[in-house]
Structure 1
Amino acid sequence: MSTSDSLHSVHAFLCTPIVNELLTTHPNWLCQNAESHTLSSEISSWLEWAGERPHGYSTANGPQVLPPVGEHKWLLLLRYYTHPSCDGLSDLYSTIPADLRELLDATRRLRLSREPGPARFLASSCPQNATREAVYQSVDYESSGIEAPDYARMVGMSPKKAHEVVRMTAYTSRLLCSSPSLRTIRHVVDVGAGQAYLSRSLRDKIGLNVLALDWSDVQSQGAVRREAIGKKRRKREIPTPAQDESSVPHPNDNDPTPAKQQLSALTYMTLRITTDTLLSSVDEWFHRGYQFTTSEERESLYGKPTPALFVALHACGSLTPNILRAFLARLKSSDGNQKWSPQAAIVVGCCYNLLEASDFPLSHELTHPTSGRPPTYLTNNHLQLAAQVPSQWMRSEVASTATRLAIRKVVWRALLAGILARVPNLPANDNKQADDDDYCPVHLRRLGKLNDSVYDNWDAFLARAGEKLGVDLMQGHPRDREMESRLEVMHVLRCILGPVVESFILLDRLQWLKEELQGTGMDVELINLFDQASGSGRNVAIAISPYLRETNSR
Structure 2
Amino acid sequence: MSTSDSLHSVHAFLCTPIVNELLTTHPNWLCQNTESHTLSSEISSWWEWAGERPHGYSTANGPQVLPPVGEHKWLLLLRYYTHPYCDDLSDLYSSIPADLRELLDTARRLQLSREPGPARFLASSCPRNATREAVYQSVDYETFGIEAANYDRIVGMSPKKAHEVLRMTAYTSWLLGSSPRLRTIRHVVDVGAGQAYLSRSLRDKIGLNVLALDWSDVQSQGAVRREAVGKKRRKKEIPTPAEDESSIPQANDSNTPPVKQQLGALTYMTLRITTDTLLSSVDEWFHRGDEITTPEKHENLYADGEPTPALFVALHACGSLTPNILRAFLARLKSSDGDQKWSPQAAIVVGCCYNLLEASDFPLSHELTHPTSELPPAYLTNNHLQLAAQAPSQWMRSEVASAATRLAIRKVVWRALLAGILVQVPIPLADNNKQADDDDYCPLHLRRLGKLNDSVYDNWDAFLARAGEKLGVDLMQGHPRDRETESRLEVMHVLRCILGPVVESFILLDRLQWLKEELRGTGMDVELVNLFDQASGSGRNVAIVISPQLHETYVQ
TM-score range, shorter chain: over 0.9
CA displacement, residues 25-53 of structure 1 (integer Å, 9 cap, x when unaligned): 11000001112210112211211101000
Task: Determine what percentage of the aligned residue pairs are the same residue.
Answer: 87
Query: Number of aligned pairs?
Result: 533
One-letter code aligned to 2:93: Y
Contact 1:307 1:340 in 2 (8 A): yes
Residues 70-469 of structure 1 aligned to structure 2 (within 5 Å):
70-139=70-139, 141=141, 148-149=147-148, 150-238=150-238, 249-252=256-259, 256=260, 260-262=261-263, 264-293=264-293, 294=296, 296-297=298-299, 300-426=302-428, 443=445, 445-469=447-471
One-letter code aligned to 1:322: N
Aligned to 1:432: none
Q: 1:337 to 1:468 in 2, by over 3 A?
A: same
One-letter code aligned to 1:148: E
Q: 1:266 to 1:442 in 2, by over 3 A?
A: farther
Equivalent residue of 1:66, what SS?
coil
Give the distance between the partners of 1:529 and 1:22, measured in 2 at CA: 30
Aligned to 2:518: 516
Contact 2:146 2:166 in 1 (8 A): no
Contact 1:348 1:538 in 2 (8 A): no
Give the distance between the partners of 2:417 and 2:255, measured in 1 at CA: 52
Please list every run of 5 or more consecutive structure 1 residues that lacks an aligned counterpart in the other structure: 430-439
RMSD: 2.1
Give the distance between the partners of 2:255 and 2:191, measured in 1 at CA: 22
Give the distance between the partners of 1:336 and 1:67, measured in 2 at CA: 70
One-letter code aligned to 2:496: R
Give the distance between the partners of 2:146 and 2:116, measured in 1 at CA: 18
Give the distance between the partners of 2:230 and 2:345, measured in 1 at CA: 30
Please list every run of 5 or more consecutive structure 2 residues that lacks an aligned counterpart in the other structure: 240-246, 433-441
CA displacement, residues 180-218 of structure 1 (integer Å, 9 cap, x when unaligned): 000000000000000100000000000000000000000
Contact 1:348 1:540 in 2 (8 A): yes
Aligned to 1:534: 536
Give the distance between the partners of 2:324 and 2:410, measured in 1 at CA: 37
Contact 2:174 2:258 in 1 (8 A): yes
1:49 maps onto 2:49 in alignment: yes
Q: 1:32 to 1:146 in 2, by over 3 A?
A: closer
Give the distance between the partners of 1:189 and 1:494, measured in 2 at CA: 37
Give the distance between the partners of 1:390 and 1:444, measured in 2 at CA: 29
Contact 1:32 1:421 in 2 (8 A): yes
Alignment partner for residue 491 of structure 2, among 470, 489, 492? 489
TM-score (norm 1): 0.92
Contact 1:164 1:530 in 2 (8 A): yes
Give the distance between the partners of 1:389 and 1:284, measured in 2 at CA: 39
Contact 1:135 1:551 in 2 (8 A): no
Contact 1:216 1:270 in 2 (8 A): yes
Give the distance between the partners of 2:357 and 2:320, measured in 1 at CA: 5
Give the distance between the partners of 1:173 and 1:551, measured in 2 at CA: 16
Give the distance between the partners of 1:465 and 1:241, measured in 2 at CA: 61
Contact 1:135 1:174 in 2 (8 A): no
Give the distance between the partners of 2:346 and 2:188, measured in 1 at CA: 9
Aligned to 1:69: 69
Equivalent residue of 2:10, what SS?
helix
Contact 1:173 1:248 in 2 (8 A): no
